[in-house]
Chains A and B, each alone.
Chain A
Amino acid sequence: MELEDHLFRQEAGRVVATLTRIFGVHNLALAEDVVQDAFCRALEVWKFRGVPDNPSAWLMATAKNRALDVLRRERTARTFAPELTRLLDSEGTTVSVVQELFGANAIKDDQLRMMFSCCHPRLPEEAQVALMLHILCGFSVSEIASAFVSTRAAIEKRVSRAKKALATSKSLFDVANAIDFAARLPSVHRALYLLFNEGYHGASPESAVRAELCREAMRLVQVLLNHALAATPVTHALAALMWLHAARLPARVDAAGNLSSLFDQDRSRWDHELVIRGQEFLDLSAKGTALTEYHLEAGIAAFHAMAPRPEETDWAQIVLLYDMLMTIRPSPVVALNRAIAVAQLEGPGRGLEEIHAIAGKDRLARYPFYFGALGEFELRSGRREVARGHFQAALALARNAMERRFLEGRVAACEGGRV
């Protein structure tokens, strides 16, 4: 039997979430050690004997047996989760109690509980994202570091601090408390949004790594969608945004390995199943009264997805959505994207005006596509020399080889090539 890609990663997240509920959040490190142990066993046994019919069940069962060993050995030396202690005191045998705690019904919400616990308000957003990737998605510290283009030491520090904060919180988040749940849900949305964005727009030189982050964010949103309290219209908006953007991932890099802009992408390579699913999510997001940045960004992505060719894009609607986005979540990057839409609708001159009017545009000074947009509009206005200067500035800020090649192409275009 063949193993599903990334199965170990996903299962590591599932198993550690369940073990943490049973051991108590203060024993997070112990839960991680038990998971590590169970996975080493799988590695040892499966390499000789092949993959069992149900690898996920095998891993969970192995973790359960390891957990039993730990509980028997350390019951007097450690305090575990209050729930467990209560059950052990009242119901007798460790085996029967552990069976129950590992039952399908009991473990159903473990990932959700862990996801909400990782988004603790005491943790900065970037720590929440790193913690989710580490605990729920089974990314090692080095893997997070390479995905975030950061150093191992920096991520190590961020993750271990976050873990310490999590382990000193009294208990895991209570997903049955509807009021707390509704209050924490926006932070969870935000963290998943940042995770997806890091994958989609991030500065990583390796495109494969980025697609992985998008996929993990989508997997965790799916966990939210499977839970009645979490499957709100806002969650559907976030899902729509992710699915509609992910649909374009296969076309972002062309056959020659070059970055392809939205205008140049081969739209037949978009994943149309993801588009359809994204549209369904968008429909579901319209129930209720909430209008969030996720709704608006999903709406913009939907107008792009609907256009069979770039010329058929409904730019008027897109500018309208950007206007609304600027009122609820203004930022220089949103303003820049709005300016690009305005240029498509009303011409490059208007695009330049809008860019020059961006409040706080100094915050874009390190962003290659700020100069890239200036270059495009100047080039379309026929000022090749000015455009070339902007593209060269963008080139100097390029964060990876793909961006560099793309911008070199634009510099060349100013020197008399294709406009």
Chain B
Amino acid sequence: MSEFVFLYRGGEPGRSPERMQQMMQKWMAWMKELGEKGHLKDQGHPLERAGKLVKGKQKTVTDGPFAEAKDLVGGYTLIEARDLEQAVELSKGCPIFETEGAVEVRPVMKISP
């Protein structure tokens, strides 16, 4: 098994509380399913939208967010899968696609040479 990180980008929840509740229930169901099938290494964390960016030799500090809302990473999850292909298949169940978001699937680099 290999490890992968799912980075959740964008996703507009809209202004309807009912819709938001439905979305959340879908997310929870999806996470639960990943867990039950043994793919969830760590369910991860949501990230705040704002923050600071420290950059360059001068260590210049700027205020975030650092990307447009549609590209902003809102959280991550650590996944176990056979290979990249399976990880991509798993990501397709993510409810983020219903709200015009995206999942970036990144293999965790293996330590062994």
Asked if A pairs with B, the answer is: yes
Known: A43-B13, A140-B15. A48 touches B21 (CB 8 A): no
B18 touches A42 (CB 8 A): no
**Looking across the interface, which residue of chain A has its beta carbon closest to that of B16?**
A140
B28 touches A9 (CB 8 A): no
**Looking across the interface, which residue of chain A has its beta carbon closest to that of B18?**
A9
Asked if B108 is at the interface (CB within 8 A of a chain A CB), the reply is no
**CB-defined interface of A13-42 with B at 8 Å, one 1/0 digit per residue?**
000000000000000000000001001101
- Shortest C-beta distance, A31 to chain B (Å), equals 14
Asked if A271 is at the interface (CB within 8 A of a chain B CB), the reply is no
- Residue from A40, A48, A49, A143 within 8 A of B18 (CB atoms): A143
**Looking across the interface, which residue of chain B has its beta carbon closest to that of A10?**
B17
A48 touches B17 (CB 8 A): no
- A and B contact pairs by CB, cutoff 8 A, 19 listed: A3-B24, A6-B18, A6-B21, A8-B18, A8-B20, A9-B17, A9-B18, A36-B15, A40-B20, A43-B23, A44-B46, A45-B46, A47-B23, A47-B31, A48-B75, A48-B77, A138-B16, A140-B18, A142-B16
* Docked complex: A366-397 residues within 8 A CB-CB of B: none
- Shortest C-beta distance, B19 to chain A (Å), equals 7
Chain A residues near B13 (CB, 8 Å)?
Answer: 39-40, 43
Asked if B45 is at the interface (CB within 8 A of a chain A CB), the reply is yes
| Interface Cβ pair total, 8 Å cutoff | 63
**Looking across the interface, which residue of chain B has its beta carbon closest to that of A6?**
B18
B15 touches A46 (CB 8 A): no
Chain A residues near B77 (CB, 8 Å)?
Answer: 48
- Shortest C-beta distance, A58 to chain B (Å), equals 13
- Shortest C-beta distance, B104 to chain A (Å), equals 17
Q: Knowing that A39-B17, A40-B20, A48-B31 touch, tell me 15 more A-B residue pairs with CB under 8 angstroms.
A: A6-B21, A44-B46, A44-B74, A44-B75, A45-B46, A47-B24, A48-B43, A48-B75, A48-B77, A49-B43, A50-B28, A138-B16, A140-B16, A140-B19, A142-B16
**Looking across the interface, which residue of chain A has its beta carbon closest to that of B14?**
A140
Asked if B97 is at the interface (CB within 8 A of a chain A CB), the reply is no
- Shortest C-beta distance, A326 to chain B (Å), equals 40
* Docked complex: A43-69 residues within 8 A CB-CB of B: 43-51
B17 touches A8 (CB 8 A): yes
Chain B residues near A159 (CB, 8 Å)?
Answer: none
> In the complex, what distance in Å separates the CA atom of A7 from the CA atom of B46?
22
Asked if B44 is at the interface (CB within 8 A of a chain A CB), the reply is yes
Interface residues of B (CB under 8 A from A): 13-21, 23-25, 27-28, 31, 43-46, 74-75, 77
**Looking across the interface, which residue of chain B has its beta carbon closest to that of A5?**
B21
* Docked complex: A104-144 residues within 8 A CB-CB of B: 138-140, 142-143
> In the complex, what distance in Å separates the CA atom of A45 from the CA atom of B48?
10
- Shortest C-beta distance, B17 to chain A (Å), equals 4
Q: Which of B14, B21, B44 gathers the greatest number of chain A CB atoms within 10 Å?
A: B21
> In the complex, what distance in Å separates the CA atom of A42 from the CA atom of B21?
9
- Shortest C-beta distance, B33 to chain A (Å), equals 13
> In the complex, what distance in Å separates the CA atom of A12 from the CA atom of B20?
11
A143 touches B16 (CB 8 A): yes
> In the complex, what distance in Å separates the CA atom of A143 from the CA atom of B20?
13
Asked if A11 is at the interface (CB within 8 A of a chain B CB), the reply is yes
> In the complex, what distance in Å separates the CA atom of A51 from the CA atom of B43?
14
> In the complex, what distance in Å separates the CA atom of A39 from the CA atom of B20?
8
Closest 10 CB pairs of A and B: A140-B16, A47-B27, A8-B17, A8-B21, A44-B46, A12-B17, A138-B17, A9-B17, A43-B24, A9-B18
